A and B are shown apart, each in its own frame.
Chain A
Amino acid sequence: MSEATNRPCPDRIDEIERYLEGGEMTPRLEAHIASCPACGRHVKRLTGLEAFLRQAHDGFEDMEPGALMQRRRLVPHKIAAWAVLAVLLGAGVFWVLDPSRRDGKGRAGEGLVAVAVPGVEDGRVILTTGSPSTVRCGPDATSTASLGSRVVRGCEVDVPGDGGLAISIASDLTLLGSGGARFTLVESTSASRVVKVTSGRLGLYSASAGGRAGLVVMAGKSTIEAQGRLMTVSAIDGELDRVTAVEGGLTVRTTAGRVKALAGGQMLDAGTFTVRPASDEGDDALLVIDLLGTSRFRSTLTVLAPHPVRVRVAGHLLGLTPLSVMLGEGDYDVSLSTPDGTVLLVETVHLAYGQEKRVVYEVDHALPVLASPGQDGGPVEGGQKPARAVDIVALIKEALAEGDAVEALALVEKHWVVKKGDPEFLEAAGDTYRKLGRFEDAVSAYLSAAEAATGTSAEKSYLAAARLRFESLRDEAGAEQILSSYWARFPAGFYRGEAQFLGARILVKQKRYVEARSALESLLATSPKGYLATKAHLLLGSILVTYMSDCKAARPHLAAVKQAAPGGKYAAEADHFLEACGAP
């Protein structure tokens, strides 16, 4: 609903205010509200919000301090870059395999194929089947879903009974609406994806091995937090009907305070709020297979699946998923089958220099729920050896540069056992985990890289680990410990300025302002014109104003920021703090 349609009539504002102040609902206002939806909405919304806040406010004194964590301002993290990438990919990389080309070959389920665009912040339709679905993004913004259609937050998607739809809402996250499903993309940011299911069944598939953090599904009075890779949520008339954790766990919470944690292979019946094995559900298991191809001189074909799936390329059995092979340009027959030999898909894929593709298949075949596949890709039959990547680290970096962390992760997991002693590989693994939000794994990888490496490479790895522990895991003590290891090994390291500055930021967070001041003054004394000087002046000036009430000492530092970076964002920040100090 647009902002304009919610605005009350300007000439009624005073009357509405009087009413909100506890005044009588005059017949005149009542008649107006009956004929003016915007004014009615305005009154209802404000009354409701204020009642909610008032009720909460009355309970504040009974709440523990900090029971409501303070909201942090989210700093856009390369969102613009992701958006540009998404647009570029959206414009140029859509690659739809024409179903007619597959005549004579095996088909999976509806046999519909589409291409996902990695890196989208909002959703993008990547698969449609049967009758077209409808996307409503406002009262006057209803459209038919077609391949590539954008689904922004707030849009409601209606899948007809004989239809089906898949929407990619992140580079590693796909929504699969079955016939009759109705759902809304409530929030879509890199930190949090929230989907509300009103009716029908919705599948959520994460291509990341450990599932996706920050994925929440709302259905009626229940909230489902995903911890695994694949789950389905069914709702009837706005209320949760059942939830199935196909692979990996999930947690269901209701507003009444009931909580159930489901492991992979279990389902919850919302009516009785009981858990039972998913095999009782009777529905076909939902399976999605990604085919990822990157290319430069030679192309990489990567196959990921939520279950162990055998992969044959050109008739040769290469192993179980996840699997990545190097191939030259050309067409390849790829066959995927279950470990018991049931063929799921036979498809020709085309690999070409300069193209990146992801192909998502919906397979209408029930699979047993199995444990996660081994990292080595499983056994190889017939003496066939899988092709090996020439430079894994380069491929991982390339995938990351192109915004495809899922592909990078597949490479990391595939080659972990062999390459886990290689500092460059560990560094790339850390970058991959970081991109995917697996911060603990990233810190471990960076620290292993630091221990395995020497010189500036080791320094950089220590600092990457410390920064992540501090900024993303909010663990100041842990970050400080990593910095101690850094100083012990590199007392006069090349990146000592960075380490000093990060140390000062940690001290500020720990409210050790005097020590932070001393660290920043020391950094400025040893490197007054260094590239970190502007940042150090700004941080020092800001803590002097806000925590040490010393505007006199702060002014020269803030003035130095304005002088060093006039008109820039740091100068604007310096102005805020100078403003708080008032005139000298």
Chain B
Amino acid sequence: MSSRTTAVELDDERIRALYPRVRSRLVRYLGPRQDIDDVVQAAMETLLKVMSNYSGRGSVESFAEGVAVNVARRYLAIGRLRRRVSDLFSETVLPEDLVTDSRNDVQGNRRLQRLMGILDDMGSRRRLAFVMHVLEGRPMKEVADALGITPQAVKSRVFQARKELLQKASADPYLREFLEELDR
């Protein structure tokens, strides 16, 4: 990967420092999916391309994080279309993947897999607001800044995401059982 000189020197050392940060953000937004390293690569390429737009306001790390958010958003939007492509002519019911996990926690993993499935089906705007605010515990204002929307819009998206999560979980046999355990 070659370095470029922009308003801020983005040399190899800086890229190396930014890489784990961008990767960490993307893993958190998208989950540990198979092609995560491809997405990280795409995000780093985008960062190099748009670095010339960096005005010097805020830290480079925040700028890189903004790029990661945009790449994640695009990935989630295109990902739903890509799932459509792979399902287009599939006529066979495929057995659900059994989750492999070092802890052998079959039940827990299956639940997590189902929950991640619900998040994958969720719109990218709702999902990112939910992940950043609820799962990462970032304040609404910060999420609003990162997503370029108002805190009120973040609140609304989080509310809709919670509603969708609960509705779909109630309709899923594995998760329904989990919910019933939570009731006790």
| A contact set with B: CB distance below 8 Å | 1, 3, 6, 17, 20, 41-42, 44-50, 52-54, 56-57, 60-61, 63-77, 153-154, 186-187, 189-192, 194, 196, 213-214, 218, 221, 223, 253-255, 257-259, 437, 468, 471-472, 474, 505, 508-509, 535, 538-539, 542-543, 545-547, 573, 576-577, 580
Contacts and interface: CB of A to CB of B under 8 A. Distances in A.
A67 B101 contact: yes
Contacts of B93: 74-77, 189-191
A49 B131 contact: no
7 contacts: A45-B183, A46-B165, A52-B111, A66-B34, A76-B93, A186-B173, A213-B95
Contacts of B78: 546, 580
B103 interface: yes
Contacts of A573: 84, 88
Contacts of B179: 45, 48-49
B82 to A, nearest CB: 5
The 4 closest A-B CB pairs, nearest first, are A71-B117, A66-B34, A48-B182, A69-B97
A505 B89 CA distance: 9
A175 to B, nearest CB: 16
Given A72-B94, A546-B81, A509 B86 contact: yes
B123 to A, nearest CB: 14
Contacts of B31: 60, 68
Contacts of A472: 92, 94
A508 B165 CA distance: 31
B32 A63 contact: yes
Interface of B: 24, 27-28, 31-37, 77-78, 81-97, 99-101, 103-109, 111-117, 120, 131, 134-137, 159, 162, 165-167, 169-170, 173-174, 176-180, 182-183
Given A70-B34, A253-B106, A255-B108, A508 B85 contact: yes
B96 to A, nearest CB: 6
A53 B135 contact: yes
A474 B85 contact: no
Contacts of A505: 89
B84 A576 contact: yes
A539 B78 CA distance: 15
Contact of A223 (B85, B106, B180): B106
A192 to B, nearest CB: 6
Contacts of A576: 81, 84
Contacts of B82: 546-547
Most A Cβ at <10 Å: residue of B95, B105, B113, B134: B95
B157 to A, nearest CB: 13
B110 to A, nearest CB: 9
A471 B92 contact: yes
Nearest to A221: B107
A255 B89 CA distance: 37
Contacts of B96: 71-72, 74, 191-192, 214
B166 A71 contact: no
B81 A77 contact: no
A20 B162 contact: yes
B116 A71 contact: yes
Contacts of A50: 134-135
Contact of A60 (B28, B91, B95): B28
B89 A257 contact: no
Given A54-B135, A253-B106, A257-B105, A65 B173 contact: no
B104 to A, nearest CB: 4
SS class of chain A's interface: helix, strand, loop or mixed? Answer: mixed
A508 B83 CA distance: 12
Given A54-B135, A69-B97, A545-B81, A49 B166 contact: yes
A238 B16 CA distance: 52
Contact of B107 (A3, A53, A191, A223): A223
A547 B90 CA distance: 19
A538 B77 CA distance: 19
B131 A57 contact: yes
A134 B113 CA distance: 33
Contacts of B101: 67
Contact of B100 (A1, A47, A67, A189): A67
B33 A44 contact: no
A17 B177 CA distance: 24
A215 to B, nearest CB: 11
A46 B182 CA distance: 9
Contacts of A17: 159
Nearest to A3: B170
Given A543-B85, A546-B81, 14 more contacts: A3-B167, A6-B166, A48-B178, A48-B182, A52-B178, A57-B131, A66-B32, A70-B33, A73-B87, A255-B106, A437-B95, A539-B89, A577-B81, A580-B78
B134 to A, nearest CB: 6
B107 to A, nearest CB: 6
A65 B103 contact: no
A192 B32 contact: no
B180 to A, nearest CB: 8
B95 A153 contact: no
Contacts of B90: 75, 471
B113 to A, nearest CB: 5
Nearest to A508: B85
A45 B115 CA distance: 13
Given A42-B166, A46-B162, A75 B99 contact: no
B35 A538 contact: no
Contact of A65 (B33, B134, B159): B33
A213 B98 CA distance: 12
A69 B99 contact: yes
A223 B106 CA distance: 8
A538 B36 contact: no
B173 A153 contact: yes
Nearest to B103: A257
A152 B170 CA distance: 16
Contacts of B100: 67
Contacts of A53: 112, 115, 134-135
In this complex, the member of B32, B114, B117, B136 whose beta carbon has the largest number of chain A beta carbons within 10 angstroms is B32
Contacts of A186: 173-174, 177
Given A44-B183, A191-B96, A577-B81, A68 B32 contact: yes
Contacts of B24: 61
A576 B82 CA distance: 11
Nearest to A50: B134
Contact of A68 (B37, B99, B104, B136): B99
